[in-house]
Amino acid sequence: MKACFMGLGYIGLPTAIIAAKHGVKVHGVDINPRVVELTNAGHLHIIEPGMEEMLKEVVRFGMLHAATEPEVCDAYFMVVPTPFKGDHEPDVSYVESATRMVLPLLKEGDLYVIESTSPVGTTEQMADIIYSERPELKGKIYIAYCPERVLPGNVIYELVHNDRVIGGIDEPSTDKAIEFYSQFVQGTLHRTNCRTAEMCKLTENSSRDVQIAFANELSMVCERAGINVWRLIELANKHPRVNILQPGCGVGGHCIAVDPYFITAAFPKEAQIIGKAREINNYKSEWCVERVKNAMLRFELDNKRKPHVAMMGLAFKPNIDDLRESPAKHIVTSVMQSCNNADIMVVEPNITEHKVFKLTDYATAYEQADIVVFLTAHDQFKTLPWRDDKVILDFCGIFKR
């Protein structure tokens, strides 16, 4: 069995490596020659604990080879980005161009799978493209959708142990895809059709977005009402059927803040809560910016000098070094721009340098600042003592006060 992975990014590369480790001969394809070069040299171009050793091993044993072009295989996996175009409209052009690259290579009995997060109907759309170019393959190849669900940082474990949803364009396609994934997935492989599988991925992340929006909304209500939101949520969660998530400074990352738009773009009238949750989570970041600016003005009025401000955290969630789509980074940038680069120290303990921000050590920044703004709940910050002599804006529950 030889498999071709189109896209060697945060999901495609780890999946290709795990498949190779389980005896599948893998041909990995990326349009970026540097990614191909690094991969063939056994160097991981993404950040994922434990993955590089595995890559080195599969490359050494000749189980994984990367190139910029696909070659004849038995199974083809589309693991490319689905970004936005215009106003949050999903853009499936990468899926389409990856599909067109493998189209001439397809032969009877092959499996074609889309893993990329995709709007409902994409798998059928790609099947139409394949059959219009290769009508002789109709009913002779297997086409399915199988989204990934892994949490960055825990990919090695989750790729193998998470349950997966697999939806073919017909029953034999679902069977064939299940047969492939069962080579390395120990979680249950749940069968469905391709439209449900596409919607399932979008639903999982929208559900989390809606739940976080609820927590964020509560945090804004509670500030008005003079209630400690952290304690409130802790108490409400004592109810056996209530499980509220934690408020923060907004929702970031490349999935939860993105995928709900794939539903709202296609179903704007029906998807009311999903759309509103996106608005609330985006608004929460602007609300935080206003709070910081107001605290700085108040300090200046009271003390007749500009404050030293520490912005604690740039990553999009705790204990990672990933700044993509980070609300913390957005807040730091907005505050710096509106305050004409006043004395603002930027802290991110998980990275050593940044091309825009000059970074300060977290303990030094905490010590020197008059106003401390907690944006990302990194573990290091939780070791700091509460200080009555500082203005502390704790948007992510470091002190839960």
d(CA 338, CA 275): 28
Q: Known catalytic residue: 21?
A: no
d(CA 81, CA 94): 7
d(CA 326, CA 120): 27
Burial of 351 per CB tally in 10 Å (0-12, 13-18, 19+): middle
Is 150 a binding residue for ligand SAJ by CB under 6 A? The answer is yes
Closest separation between CB of residue 108 and ligand SAJ, Å? 33
d(CA 77, CA 99): 9
Closest separation between CB of residue 334 and ligand SAJ, Å? 16
d(CA 57, CA 309): 47
Nearer residue to ligand SAJ within complex by CB, 144 or 288: 288
Is 317 a binding residue for ligand SAJ by CB under 6 A? The answer is yes
What one-character DSSP code corresponds to residue 359? B
Q: Which stretch binds ligand SAJ (CB under 6 A): 38-46, 181-189, 200-208, 261-269?
A: 200-208
Nearer residue to ligand SAJ within complex by CB, 160 or 245: 245
Q: Which of 151, 235, 236, 273 binds ligand SAJ (CB under 6 A)?
A: 151
Closest separation between CB of residue 251 and ligand SAJ, Å? 4
d(CA 395, CA 401): 10
Pair 376, 314: CB distance under 8 Å:
yes
Name the catalytic one among 201, 284, 317, 329: 201
Number of residues that this document lists for the chain:
401
What one-character DSSP code corresponds to residue 316? S
Nearer residue to ligand SAJ within complex by CB, 101 or 245: 245
Nearer residue to ligand SAJ within complex by CB, 94 or 316: 316
d(CA 13, CA 30): 10
Nearer residue to ligand SAJ within complex by CB, 246 or 368: 246
Is 208 a binding residue for ligand SAJ by CB under 6 A? The answer is yes
d(CA 209, CA 383): 29
Q: Which of 65, 149, 195, 306 binds ligand SAJ (CB under 6 A)?
A: 149
Is 374 a binding residue for ligand SAJ by CB under 6 A? The answer is no
Residue corresponding to tokens 């142990």: 161
Q: Which stretch binds ligand SAJ (CB under 6 A): 43-51, 201-209, 224-232, 340-348?
A: 201-209
Q: Is 193 helix (H, G, I), strand (E, B) or coil?
A: strand
Q: Which stretch binds ligand SAJ (CB under 6 A): 30-38, 74-82, 118-126, 147-155?
A: 147-155
Residues 243-262 that bind ligand SAJ (CB under 6 A): 245-246, 248, 251-253, 255-256
Nearer residue to ligand SAJ within complex by CB, 248 or 349: 248
Name the catalytic one among 194, 255, 288, 396: 255
Pair 162, 149: CB distance under 8 Å:
yes
> What tokens were used for 16?
């290709």
Q: Known catalytic residue: 73?
A: no
Closest separation between CB of residue 313 and ligand SAJ, Å? 10
d(CA 14, CA 65): 13
Q: Residue numbers of the site for ligand SAJ (CB under 6 A)?
A: 149-152, 204-205, 208, 212, 245-246, 248, 251-253, 255-256, 316-317
- Residues serving a catalytic function are 201, 255
